[in-house]
Amino acid sequence: MANVHDRHHLISEIDDEVNPGPMNIQFDSSDLRSKRPFYIEPTNIVNVNDVIQRVSDHASALDKRIHYYSRLSTPADKALIAPDHVVPAPEECYVYSPLGSAYKLQSYTEGHGKNTSLVTIFMIWNTMMGTSILSIPWGIKQAGFTTGMCVIVLMGLLTLYCCYRVVKSRSMIPSLDTSTWEYPDVCRYYFGSFGQWSSLLCSLVSLIGAMIVYWVLMSNFLFNTGKFIFNFIHHINDSDTVLRTNNSSPVICPSAGSGDYPDNDSMIFYANDTGVQQFEKWWNRSKTVPFYLIGLLLPLLNFKSPSFFSKFNILGTVSVLYLIFLVTLKTIRLGFHLEFHWFVSTEFFVPEIRLQFPQLTGVLTLAFFIHNCIITLLKNNKNQENNVRDLCIAYMLVTLTYLYIGILVFASFPSPPLSKDCIEQNFLDNFPSNDILSFIARIFLLFQMMTVYPLLGYLARVQLLGHVFGDIYPSIFHVLVLNIIIVGAGVIMACFYPNIGGIIRYSGAACGLAFVFIYPSLIYIISLRREERLTWPRLIFHICIIILGLANLIFQFFM
């Protein structure tokens, strides 16, 4: 008979790697009014005996009264909602049994946030750190070293400013109670259902883009893992055929001489070893392995609730830390190989300033993307006045991490034998499959991605089916069709276009256009206009941001 107010933890534990996930999913309604009358002022807890605390008669009568009134009117009718001065401000929450006893819950809070600044910063960092970290060195290579570094810093600042606008957007809405709103709700307030649908679309673009990238990467890592194990068991050393460095820390250039597609060593021929040939036939990076994953992951996607998987979120942090460690170790072994050629491309080096830098900005748009759930993440901050400071610190840490990994991988890439152009879109591909350290990294990432993939699928399903059909689980048939489409897209990309850098930059620029560049600026301009505080400098500045976002997307197709 006890009325326990259930707290869903999903929103705090879904750490979406590539694209921080939940849009508009308020598992934990922090609307205080909806939780009355379960709040009882501590003075109303009367000890009858020491074992069970009872509630005073006055509080119990108030509870019954409020219960009854709430049945008399519709939930939309505000006249019968207990006003603030009647229901005592909740200091603590008690589980209140109508029989009169009250139990204090230790861990419950009212949604006012129990996270210290440190935890909040860590959560933001963890949510932003995604698989786009694997493409940063490639992005730096595409932009040129100096340009790359500048672009990373500038994009960090730009997206930080837009994120700040997102966080502040709710406070500019004067008349409504926005305490439960996420950013898509704000968009809907300003732009009507167009805002709602476009934000849904952008969120889906980023989610499905993330899932495709995941599928490609998972096939890649699974392939390499299988190859490592096979070679390990059969003591095969296939190190001779691919362009590589000859020392203890080998780095390979898989795409040398094989055109655009980093193929899967199909040029390895062991004429007198049919066993290996058989293995090569059945364990092929782009022809077979993507399909093996279907049997593993498609069932997982159909689960109604993926909260089981959210327990594995710590793997994401472990993976990133391990990557940092790996990169540091490799750099120590390989040393720095940097030469600065400003505009000209040499045999081994790329110019410092290249025209393909929009590819890096596209990757970074997704790398710095957290705008659709930053409000929820900051809501749980204990000291709300530190929100902006914590956000800046988190962005700084993320920028530093990206810079660290990008610069170290780029700089340590052994350029005299290999060209910088060899840096792959997934920098782990530059290590041969028999390299132990990168094998461990691949295993970590593979396992972590397999646990995040169902979560992403769940988010996509909730948003798409929830908005289109109104029910997040209309029937197994609907869900199955959706999952087959998503998985099919992943498989097709893994077979024919496994360039994660490309996928990341296109989807990043597309969804970032709405959430990062256009909506925050436009909403700010509109709200200033309504308050009549719009000045020319501000207008021009924000219009420039919008133009930058558009240019970001357009140049993805040309550069």
Partner 1 sequence: MEECGSEKKMEKENLGPRMDPPLGEPQGSLGWVLPNTAMKKKVLLMGKSGSVDVEHSHVQFLGNLVLNLWDCGGQDSFMENYFTSQRDNIFQNVEVLIYVFDVESRELEKDMHYYQSCLEAILQNSPDARIFCLVHKMDLVQEDQRDLIFREREEDLRRLSRPLECSCFRTSIWDETLYKAWSSIVYHLIPNVQQLEMNLRNFAEIIEADEVLLFERATFLVISHYQCKEQRDAHRFEKISNIIKQFKLSCSKLAASFQSMEVRNSNFAAFIDIFTSNTYVMVVMSDPSIPSAATLINIRNARKHFEKLERVDGPKQCLLMC
Residues forming the site for partner 1 (CB under 8 A): 57-58, 60-62, 64-65, 67-69, 71-72, 79-80, 82-83, 85-86
- CA of 538: how far to CAs of 284, 535, 543, in Å? 55, 6, 8
Peptide bond into 37 cis (omega under 30): yes
DSSP class of residue 244?
Answer: B
CB 361 within 8 A of CB 155: yes
- Distance (Å, whole) CA 167 – CA 370: 11
Cβ closest to partner 1, residue 46 vs residue 559: 46
Cβ closest to partner 1, residue 40 vs residue 289: 40
In the complex, the smallest distance separating the C-beta of residue 112 from partner 1, rounded to whole angstroms, is 24
Return phi, psi of residue 144, to 5°.
95, 150
Cβ closest to partner 1, residue 36 vs residue 285: 36
Cβ closest to partner 1, residue 98 vs residue 275: 98
Cβ closest to partner 1, residue 68 vs residue 282: 68
In the complex, the smallest distance separating the C-beta of residue 102 from partner 1, rounded to whole angstroms, is 16
In the complex, the smallest distance separating the C-beta of residue 71 from partner 1, rounded to whole angstroms, is 5
In the complex, the smallest distance separating the C-beta of residue 86 from partner 1, rounded to whole angstroms, is 4
DSSP class of residue 252?
Answer: B
In the complex, the smallest distance separating the C-beta of residue 94 from partner 1, rounded to whole angstroms, is 19
CB 524 within 8 A of CB 542: yes
In the complex, the smallest distance separating the C-beta of residue 176 from partner 1, rounded to whole angstroms, is 21
H or E stretch including 95?
strand 94-96
In the complex, the smallest distance separating the C-beta of residue 91 from partner 1, rounded to whole angstroms, is 19
Residue at token pair 């976002």:
549
For residue 346, give the nearest of 271, 419, 272 by alpha carbon.
419
Cβ closest to partner 1, residue 75 vs residue 470: 75
DSSP class of residue 102?
Answer: E
Cβ closest to partner 1, residue 32 vs residue 82: 82
Cβ closest to partner 1, residue 57 vs residue 531: 57
In the complex, the smallest distance separating the C-beta of residue 101 from partner 1, rounded to whole angstroms, is 14
Sign of the C-alpha dihedral, residues 207, 406, 551, 161?
Answer: positive
DSSP class of residue 132?
Answer: G
- Distance (Å, whole) CA 417 – CA 49: 81
In the complex, the smallest distance separating the C-beta of residue 76 from partner 1, rounded to whole angstroms, is 14
Other C-beta atoms within 10 Å of 73: how many? 12
In the complex, the smallest distance separating the C-beta of residue 1 from partner 1, rounded to whole angstroms, is 13
Contacts of 227 (CB under 8 A, 6+ apart): 283, 433
Q: At what angle do helices 536-558 and 500-512 cross, to 10 degrees?
A: 150
Return phi, psi of residue 110, to 5°.
-85, 15
- Distance (Å, whole) CA 369 – CA 208: 15
Other C-beta atoms within 10 Å of 63: how many? 21
- Distance (Å, whole) CA 541 – CA 166: 16
* Coil, strand or helix at 53: strand
In the complex, the smallest distance separating the C-beta of residue 177 from partner 1, rounded to whole angstroms, is 20
Cβ closest to partner 1, residue 45 vs residue 455: 45
Cβ closest to partner 1, residue 86 vs residue 105: 86
Cβ closest to partner 1, residue 99 vs residue 481: 99
CB 379 within 8 A of CB 112: no
For the chain, helix (H) and strand (E) counts, in that order, are 17, 4
* Coil, strand or helix at 265: coil
Residue at token pair 């593993």:
296
